[in-house]
Amino acid sequence: MTYDVVVLIEREMSEGDAERVAALYARHDDTVNYHLLVSSHPTQGLAGPMALLGSSFADVAGLSASPPVNRTTTLTGPATDRPQASAGTALADPRDDLAAVIEHSSRRLRARVGGGVNVSITHGEILLALRTLVNSTHSQEVVVVAWPETAARFICSNWTTRARKELKVGRVRVVEHDT
């Protein structure tokens, strides 16, 4: 049997992020399939885990008019507060280099889990894309890699419980991004 997990990221996963996600399933009995969902930060609409806090579950329920688009493109725009993966190593931002985010994040996660990682990209509503990916892969869990302040807000707002029910998954985990 297989166990499917969607991993939602807003920016490039660091080595520490990949290690923490892999550790969640290191002792799992079934083969774990990872489905990495990357938000491309569109200039309009919702994007990334931070935006999930302010959006409604109408998006998850499929009432949004903006379907996810799963294609690879490179977006350009002004660089903003780039977090550091480690001393001197900047993490890529999808607005600047979507290809680097996908390449580095999937490579790091593959190295930690010793297997395949499927990648999906959304240019639309992140909640709708998340719901679509969970349904199409029959995923049992969702892991959101979020910045420390975002992770705290997810936990305080009880978002994970609501998301678990709306997405119809056994568990939604929030992993604090390694900064």
- Domain-located, residue 53: yes
- Domain-located, residue 58: yes
- Mean pLDDT computed over 60-68: 41
CATH classification at residue 17: 3.40.50.620
DSSP 62: T
Q: Which amino acid is at 113?
A: V
- Domain-located, residue 120: yes
User: Which positions ≥6 away from 45 have C-beta within 8 Å?
Assistant: 66, 124, 125
- Domain-located, residue 121: yes
- Mean pLDDT computed over 69-76: 32
Q: What domain range includes position 163? A: 2-76+86-176
pLDDT digits (tens, 9 = 90+) for 36-51: 998 775 443 334 444 5
- Domain-located, residue 81: no
| Rounded CA Rg of the chain | 15
pLDDT digits (tens, 9 = 90+) for 103-112: 999 999 999 9
Q: Which amino acid is at 159?
A: W
- Number of compact structural domains in the chain: 1
